[in-house]
Amino acid sequence: MPVQSEVRRSVCALDCPDCCALLVNIEDGKATRLRGDPEHPITRGFLCAKVTRYLDREYHPERLLYPQRRAGAKGEGRFERIGWDEALDTVAARLRETAERYEPESILPYSYAGTMGYLQGSGMDRRFFHRLGASRLDRTVCSMAGMAGATEALGLRYGTEPEQFAHSKLIIAWGANILGTNVHLWPFIVEARRKGARFYTIDPVRTRAAHTADRHFEIYPGSDLALALGLMHVILRDGLEDKDYVARYTEGIDALRRRAAEYPPERVAALTGIPAADIEMLAREYATTRPAAIRLNYGVQRSDRGGRAVRAIASLPALTGAWRDVGGGFQLSTSHAFQVNRAALERPDLQKKSPLGREARVINMIELGKVLEETANPGIHAMVVYNSNPAAIAPNQRRVMRGLGREDLFTVVLEQFQTDTADFADILLPATTFLEHTDAYFAYGHHYLQMAHAVVPPPGEAKSNVEVFRLLAERMGFDDACFRETEEEMIRGLLASGHKFLDGITYERLEAERSVRLNVAHNGDPFLPFAEGGFGTPSGRCEFGAEVLEYAPPVESRLGAWADGRYPLEMVSSKNDDSMNSTFGNRDDVDRQTSAAWLNPGDAAARGVVTGDQVRVFNARGSCLVRAEVTGDVRAGVVRVPAVRWPKHSPGRQGVNVLVDDRVTDIGGGPVFFSCLVEVEKCGD
């Protein structure tokens, strides 16, 4: 028999700025090869290591295939197979009962970015929970602090296109692990460097990108606001600002001058650990090199002053006029340019039809542990988890686990794999992967809107999130037409926003082209969002906001309010290069990578620790056993634990997030993963 063979197009749905276009070889209905689309302007024919191997995950023997019901204790992970009808009937009955007995707000949806697809990530699910009147989730765990800071400065969170980095003469990767988390920006940086650009990194960790950099600035975690103010100090002191740009398009320069005057390089050196001469040099080069681009990623904002640090950094290109240039400016995220019709997609108006008849309360997802402990107003009695693994990724893990372990909490989990969170489910439902369902995709590192259909059938009885919430809506008796919409109708709805960036981008065009550049500029011209002002702030100008930019060290840092010498090291649990948060945590090699603590040679020697030793990383919240890796790639005083290991693989089921507090950032309500004091000790020989 001849083998039926063809190549189909897909899109990688993992939570990454690059949102790659994929080509999938299909033979006899099975995917046999996955490649980056060579014709996609950003993917450019290559994939990261983890997605190159994605078919191992797709066809992994541990994929969840059938609906299951809990058969053991909470968290134990023992289940028995049931049918879809029984599973859905049980879920619908329990949700209805919970809503009636307590209030609809005692039901909590919990989801994040397992898939970046619009429909599977924030489509039918949102409609369902709005109609039900469930508590709403503030999805803060990743980027809200930075978004809040960028919004304060710029109003519109637009960013420099990746393609333009090829034209830069100075590129600063600021808290951005580009080769690990955003590798499709790299070719543009390589091209710029070939043409003479310099490339600098600012990070407490010497990442692989930092190893190749012309200069690496070893900063203490959470001190970036001080550094930004130090740079502003030098720029303004020496008159290096773009006076014309500042006068025309910014607000608050006088107050900024006064604020920056308080941060001379010597003071900033003491706060950041970066020598004063380096601060002078960096400021001068940044202000006098054109074009200059800053790639800020989310590392900086996972700290107490993270939101305002982003505000200050996002203001730098307005001070120097870097927004004027092709290849200049700033990129934190490009996602705001995807001006789709969110209301049509998520239908917040359905809340009026819920038993509450009003907007439901909002719960900050990083406070999950706390919220599950509370019993009043009303307490949470049912939870539906999808696209997320809170038992591994949420801060204050012990508290989260305690909450998930509550016998009286009814928990539904939609998952592809048996994660720690899945272990706590009462009803566990098998979910499809992006190769098995239809979706449309924005990106947060480029400006191409994409669409993909299923390229292979789901294994076993797996269903997409859209399908599960559609079926649940039917069982709950929600008869609004939107619950019967097809994927195609949902995509048509989200495209119909009337925003000029989506002009002419129709379903038909997406179907034909699969990846379409937003109309961010005419005729494919470079997108220069703020070359002539046009900020989205109340004043229409870049708002420096000096009055709120006073720097204070993170409370958990060597200079911070909680420092008392007991836990002298600052822990950064930054992203692991070869995985994706806790996704892929079932892989042995990923488990090894994420069960290590990187220690500076001086800090290791002081504790009698050598590479390979078992060490305990601990603080008052808990402790976590890992293997020591002694390396100059992490600055003195800092320990790095690559995130995120599956807790169930750790002794005592304590992952790195037992160490992390669940307090929130200055603005945006974000987490403080990278402001965490710990001590490290060698475990018995």
Ligand X SMILES: Nc1nc2c(c(=O)[nH]1)N[C@H]1C(S)=C(S)[C@@H](COP(=O)(O)OP(=O)(O)OC[C@H]3O[C@@H](n4cnc5c(=O)[nH]c(N)nc54)[C@H](O)[C@@H]3O)O[C@H]1N2
Binding site for ligand X (CB under 6 A): 15-16, 112-115, 120, 141-142, 174-177, 180-181, 202-205, 207, 219, 221-222, 224, 297-300, 303, 386-389, 392-393, 414-417, 419, 431-432, 465, 572-577, 579-583, 643-644, 656-657, 660, 673-674
Q: How far is the CB of 677 from Mo ion (least distance, A)?
A: 23
Q: Which partner, Mo ion, ligand X, none, binds residue 303 by CB below 5 to 8 Å per kind?
A: ligand X
Nearer Cβ to ligand X (393/555) = 393
Q: Which partner, Mo ion, ligand X, none, binds residue 120 by CB below 5 to 8 Å per kind?
A: ligand X
Q: How far is the CB of 142 from Mo ion (least distance, A)?
A: 3
Nearer Cβ to ligand X (513/633) = 633
- How many other β-carbons are positioned within 10 Å of the β-carbon of residue 261? 13
Q: Which partner, Mo ion, ligand X, none, binds residue 528 by CB below 5 to 8 Å per kind?
A: none
Q: How far is the CB of 674 from Mo ion (least distance, A)?
A: 12
> Cis omega before residue 458 (within 30°)?
no
SS3 state of residue 432: coil
The answer to whether 414 and 78 are in contact (CB under 8 A) is: no
Q: Which partner, Mo ion, ligand X, none, binds residue 386 by CB below 5 to 8 Å per kind?
A: ligand X
Sort residue 155 into left (φ over 0), alpha (ψ -120 to 50) or beta.
left
Nearer Cβ to ligand X (223/515) = 223
Nearer Cβ to ligand X (107/205) = 205
Residue 519, phi then psi, degrees to nearest 5: -80, 55
Q: Which partner, Mo ion, ligand X, none, binds residue 269 by CB below 5 to 8 Å per kind?
A: none
Select from 635, 500, 674 the least CA-distant residue to 202.
635
Binding site for Mo ion (CB under 5 A): 142
Q: Which partner, Mo ion, ligand X, none, binds residue 673 by CB below 5 to 8 Å per kind?
A: ligand X
- Helices 265-272, 276-288: axis angle to 10 degrees equals 110
SS3 state of residue 623: strand
The dihedral sign for the CA sequence 377, 382, 387, 392: positive
Nearer Cβ to ligand X (21/431) = 431
Q: How far is the CB of 298 from ligand X (least distance, A)?
A: 4
Q: Which partner, ligand X, Mo ion, none, binds residue 415 by CB below 5 to 8 Å per kind?
A: ligand X
Alpha helices (runs of H) in 5-143, residue ranges in sequence order? 49-52, 54-58, 84-101, 118-122, 124-132
The kind and range of the H/E element at 229 are helix 224-237
Residue 349, phi then psi, degrees to nearest 5: -65, -20
Nearer Cβ to ligand X (593/611) = 593
Nearer Cβ to ligand X (12/531) = 12
Q: How far is the CB of 352 from Mo ion (least distance, A)?
A: 32
Q: How far is the CB of 583 from ligand X (least distance, A)?
A: 4
SS3 state of residue 554: coil
Q: How far is the CB of 437 from Mo ion (least distance, A)?
A: 22
The answer to whether 386 and 114 are in contact (CB under 8 A) is: yes
Q: Which partner, ligand X, Mo ion, none, binds residue 331 by CB below 5 to 8 Å per kind?
A: none
Nearer Cβ to ligand X (297/665) = 297
Q: How far is the CB of 576 from ligand X (least distance, A)?
A: 6
How far apart CA 328 and CA 684 sit, in angstroms, is: 53
Q: How far is the CB of 422 from ligand X (least distance, A)?
A: 8
How far apart CA 604 and CA 665 sit, in angstroms, is: 30
Select from 156, 63, 149 the least CA-distant residue to 416.
63
State the residue number with the nearest CB to Mo ion: 142
The answer to whether 483 and 473 are in contact (CB under 8 A) is: yes
How far apart CA 607 and CA 133 sit, in angstroms, is: 53
Nearer Cβ to ligand X (351/576) = 576
Q: Which partner, ligand X, Mo ion, none, binds residue 174 by CB below 5 to 8 Å per kind?
A: ligand X
Q: Which residues, including other chains, have CB under 8 Å from residue 4's CB and lie 6 or more apart?
A: 26, 27, 28, 29
